[in-house]
Amino acid sequence: MQKMPSLYIGHGAPPLLEHKEWRNELATWSKELPIPKAILIISAHWESAPLMVGAVTPQPLIYDFYGFPEKYYQIQYNSPGAPELAAKIAKLMPDNEPLHQAPSRGLDHGAYVPLIAMYPDANIPVLQMSIPSHDPIKLMEIGKRLRPLRDEGVLIIGSGFLTHGLPFTDMQKGADQLAPTWSADFDAWANELVPMYVTLGLADNAEASITSKIDGFWYGLSKRSFAV
């Protein structure tokens, strides 16, 4: 079985699905990848300690956003559950930090927005895992423990806009506005250092090739995405 890369995807709120360039970039990227046996996604929108995985059987999506048009609350992504993947992850975790389950928690928009663009048929089992800490060393250790899954055809994705600060963005200027200095500066820095720790922990070695696949800004927020 071909080894899967690990990805970091700069996603956004559901209206980003109407950004044709971004959606096409993700669709094209997914076609360049081996077909995953399953997908494990770690979204910036689920912070929960201890380490948890969401429902292993399909549950309703979580519409964790407010003030959007009604059509965004009708979005569906009915992917199969991934109980076998959850069991494998549990075996990879240390005895003193066991994996916990949130059986009723469906996918949040940090998971299903990019997956709609990449795998619109929703025919691949998907499991979401929480972010249990902001400690980069701990997150990289989790990534290291998950490495064996790459050899089993599991596509592991970290997701979240690389920069995010809606209170500091002028939404009246539109999606194509120039990025604020703070957003552009961090994006440029991250293109060299890419501090996405779970994804980096999945790399085979510290000098693994990091390939930036998507760049640019949406409402001034960085869409940068990469693979290792």
pLDDT of residue 65: 85
pLDDT of residue 17: 87
pLDDT of residue 21: 86
pLDDT of residue 150: 94
Residue 156 falls in which region: left (phi positive, over 0), alpha (psi -120 to 50) or beta: beta
pLDDT of residue 103: 93
Q: Which residues of the chain have pLDDT under 70?
A: 1, 12, 161-180, 182-200, 203-209, 213-224
Closest CA to 228 of 5, 1, 3: 5
Q: Scanning the structure block, which residue is given the tokens 């559901």?
A: 14
- Domains of the chain as residue ranges with CATH: 10-163+183-227 (3.40.830.10)
pLDDT of residue 195: 35
Contact in structure between 13 and 19 (CB atoms under 8 Å):
no
Contact in structure between 110 and 14 (CB atoms under 8 Å):
no
How far, CA to CA in Å, does 199 sit from each of 66, 69, 165, 179? 29, 33, 22, 25
Its pTM stands at 0.79
pLDDT of residue 200: 66
Strand 154-159 vs strand 52-53: parallel, antiparallel, or unpaired? unpaired
In this structure, the number of other CB atoms found within 10 A of the CB of residue 187 comes to 20
How far, CA to CA in Å, does 57 sit from each of 64, 112, 126? 20, 15, 9
